[in-house]
């Protein structure tokens, strides 16, 4: 720690220096540190001038490589943004960087790469994103060697999931197994990833750069080490509203749930993460079938819990992944097909021998995976509250009605009941400046973030225009948030609204049909700088909507198919075409 007078001198110097001067100072200090090693301070402020140690020569950082490849695999766009950021920083350092999505990457080029850096997210149960699946399979299955490659991996994930950053870990390990040389260590980033990513960037650039003083002496700068994930802030909320938005006669049940919690912090576009609890009836059946003492305390992942607590709140017993079924088969010593199946069904078909063997089974089970729900409230319009819009999932298996674990858990929550949750940031789905126009396309529960957007823009008095496309099955029973939407039209917050109810006529009508009916105005909004947002089902909805937008651009922009694709790509590059689909 510097003495106060020295700190003031340093602060004055930093404040009065240009960016270029600060870069020079940084290099100068690196040279000083290189020369002094563990020796005493170079000079005391009280020492005479003749006693001062020689001052190190200014240093200059020079890249030791001329080009690198940065490949990204992403679902939400975070990896792409980080890859672009790294490429820009590499270019400033004199290094040419080729940025490519892993689904566009030519796999044959991997054997030619010298410096290869990849930024990859993890989805679901430890899987790579769809855009990286081809690359992931290629490096794991083809049995080749890559002795020439020097690589680094930045993994994005969510610490709430049991297989945190698993896809990134797998890629890092496999590139090393193929003979590659790791030039920077794997760094695993949680959802609040920017600080960790910046640290990784610094390490990458340091590994590609040799700092040389004017007398030719090599100098090594400090490597930034990313912090370990610290976990998320968990809120303990209280349910104040839980109502079904669908009217009587609907085939659906969509619950609007309002939660209050202290010191809430979120932005429109964010989600909340919830770990649902298993249904008590299923838990009781498992305890009965295995004859285990529900009050017995057992260890699971270095923590002690009762069997009842584990089965109810901690363990995934709804649908076991194939890898767990395989381990179960080994414990009970039976030949079991590798398939997804509930623990209760597995126990009924291939029972354990006794309670002791079931304790062994508990050890191979995985934690319940959090579910994410788009926030449908505005921090400015609904202070201290967070709202979500949940479609209750009911389906049949062999004629038996089944319920989605999380949606059923949430739908059953009573008013005044408690709920733990965390905020999942989504920096790739944010509102633009208040004077910008927005087009929101959100059928079904895809309306959720747009309720947040509209309420936020209303509260802020934003001058930009707002256009909403909404759709569902029937006007009379499935028009979610109808009263609010009508009020926003009347007050002018919503400039335009187009709705599509697919089952109210013989031919099904969806939001993309309403877009085509308003195609000329849609293109004019795009030309005037509007931002387009899509939320809801990934397939087929978001695919159909994107194809429709290309048709609109082609027709009303008088463009060829290729030019329309280029136009839409430009919107994406400008951050004006954003999706939150599932």
**Please, which pLDDT band fits residue 25 given cuts at 50, 70 and 90?**
low
What pLDDT was estimated at residue 389?
A: 98
DSSP 18: -
Q: Above 70 in pLDDT, residue 275?
A: yes
Q: For residues 194 and 287, state if they share a domain.
A: no
- Please tell me which residue, 170 or 65, carries the higher pLDDT value: 170
Task: State the pLDDT at residue 352.
Answer: 96
CA angle (137 as vertex; 165, 145 as ends), nearest 5: 100
What are 341-367's pLDDT values in tens digits?
999 999 999 999 999 999 999 999 999
Q: Identify the domain boundary among 200, 219, 238.
A: 219
pLDDT given at position 100:
94
pLDDT in tens, 303-340: 899 999 999 999 999 989 888 999 999 999 999 988 88
536 within some domain: yes
Helices and strands: H and E segment counts in the chain: 19, 24
Tell me whether residue 567 is in a domain.
yes
- State pLDDT tens for residues 376-416: 999 999 999 999 999 999 877 667 777 889 999 999 999 99
Helix (H) or strand (E) holding 356: helix 355-364
| pLDDT at residue number 446 | 97
Identify whether residues 458 and 338 lie together within a single domain. Answer: no
Both tokens assigned to 406: 């999380």
Average pLDDT over residues 48-60: 41
Q: From 12, 28, 56, give the residue that closes a domain.
A: 56
Q: Are 162 and 19 in a shared domain?
A: no
Write down the pLDDT at residue 30: 43
Angle at 282 between CA 280 and CA 287, to 5 degrees: 95
Q: Which helix (H) or strand (E) holds 271?
A: strand 271-274
Q: What is the DSSP letter of 165?
A: T
Instruction: Answer yes or no: do 45 and 180 share one domain.
Output: no
Angle at which helices 78-92 and 194-207 pack, to 10 degrees?
Answer: 40
Q: In angstroms, rounded to a whole number, what is the distance separating the alpha carbons of residues 384 and 529?
A: 33
Is the residue at 390 inside a domain? no
Mean pLDDT of 218-230: 40
Residue 71 lies in a domain: yes
> Is the model's pLDDT at 215 over the cut of 80?
no
| Shared-domain flag, residues 450 and 558 | yes
Q: For residue 375, what pLDDT band results from cuts at 50, 70 and 90?
A: very high
Taking each helix axis from N to C end, the angle separating 166-177 and 133-141, rounded to the nearest 10 degrees, works out to 40
* pLDDT (0 to 100) of residue 7: 63
401 within a domain of the structure (yes/no): no
- How many structural domains compose the chain? 4
Tens digits of residue pLDDT in 136-148:
999 998 778 999 9
User: Lowest mean pLDDT: which of 28-42, 73-87, 164-178, 516-530?
Assistant: 28-42
Last residue of a domain, one of 364, 393, 420: 364
pLDDT at residue number 199: 86
pLDDT above 90: residue 126 = no
Q: Answer yes or no: is 225 within a domain.
A: no
Residue 19 sits in the same domain as residue 153: no
- 90 and 27 within one domain: no
SS3 of residue 366 by DSSP: coil
Domain span including residue 26: 4-56
């Amino acid at each position: 720690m510097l003495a106060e007078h020295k700190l003031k001198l340093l602060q004055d110097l930093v404040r009065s220096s240009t960016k270029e001067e600060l870069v020079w100072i940084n290099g100068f200090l690196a040279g000083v540190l290189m020369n002094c090693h563990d020796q005493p301070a170079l000079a005391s402020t009280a020492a005479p001038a003749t006693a001062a140690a020689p001052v190190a020569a200014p240093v200059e950082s020079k890249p030791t490589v001329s080009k690198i490849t940065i490949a990204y695999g992403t679902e939400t766009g975070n990896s792409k943004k980080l890859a672009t950021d790294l490429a820009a920083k590499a270019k400033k350092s004199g290094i040419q960087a080729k940025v490519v999505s892993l689904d566009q990457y030519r796999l044959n080029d991997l054997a030619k790469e010298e410096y290869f850096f990849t930024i990859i997210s993890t989805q679901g149960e430890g899987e790579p994103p769809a855009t990286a699946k081809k690359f992931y399979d290629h490096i794991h299955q083809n049995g080749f060697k890559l002795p020439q490659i020097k690589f680094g991996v930045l993994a994005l994930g969510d610490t709430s999931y049991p297989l945190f950053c698993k896809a990134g870990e797998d890629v890092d390990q496999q590139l090393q197994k193929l003979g590659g040389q790791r030039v920077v260590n794997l760094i695993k980033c949680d959802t609040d990833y920017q600080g960790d990513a910046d640290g990784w960037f610094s390490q990458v650039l340091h590994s590609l750069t040799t700092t040389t003083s004017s007398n030719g002496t090599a100098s090594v700068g400090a490597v930034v080490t990313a912090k370990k994930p610290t976990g998320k802030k968990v809120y303990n909320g209280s349910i104040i509203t839980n109502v079904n938005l669908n009217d009587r006669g609907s085939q659906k049940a969509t619950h609007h749930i309002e939660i209050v919690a202290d010191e809430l912090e979120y932005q429109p576009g964010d989600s909340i993460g919830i770990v649902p609890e298993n249904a008590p009836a299923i838990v009781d059946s498992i305890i009965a079938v295995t004859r285990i003492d529900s009050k017995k305390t057992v260890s699971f992942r270095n923590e002690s819990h009762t069997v009842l607590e584990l089965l109810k709140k901690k363990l995934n017993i709804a649908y076991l992944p194939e890898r767990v079924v395989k381990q179960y088969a080994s414990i009970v010593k039976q030949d079991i097909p590798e398939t997804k199946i509930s623990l209760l069904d597995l126990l009924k078909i291939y029972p354990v021998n006794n309670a002791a063997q079931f304790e062994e089974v508990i050890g191979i089970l995985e934690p319940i995976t959090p579910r994410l729900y788009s926030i449908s409230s505005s921090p400015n319009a609904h202070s201290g509250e967070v709202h979500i819009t949940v479609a209750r999932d009911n389906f049949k298996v062999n004629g038996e009605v089944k319920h989605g674990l999380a949606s059923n858990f949430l739908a059953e929550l009573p008013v005044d009941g408690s709920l733990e949750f965390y905020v999942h940031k989504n920096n790739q789905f944010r509102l633009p400046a208040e004077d910008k126009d927005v087009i929101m396309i959100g059928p079904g529960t895809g309306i959720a973030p747009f309720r947040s957007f509209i309420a936020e823009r209303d509260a802020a008095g934003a001058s930009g225009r707002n256009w909403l496309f909404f759709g569902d099955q029937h006007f009379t029973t499935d028009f979610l948030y109808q009263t609010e939407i009508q009020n926003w039209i009347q007050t002018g917050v919503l400039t335009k609204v187009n709705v599509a109810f697919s089952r109210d006529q013989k031919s099904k009508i969806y939001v993309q049909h309403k877009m085509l009916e308003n195609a000329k105005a849609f293109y004019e909004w795009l030309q005037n700088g509007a931002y387009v947002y899509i939320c809801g089902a990934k397939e087929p909805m978001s695919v159909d909507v994107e194809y429709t937008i290309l048709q609109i651009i082609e027709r009303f922009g008088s463009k060829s198919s290729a030019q329309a694709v280029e136009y839409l790509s430009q919107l994406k590059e400008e951050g004006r075409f954003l999706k939150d689909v599932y």
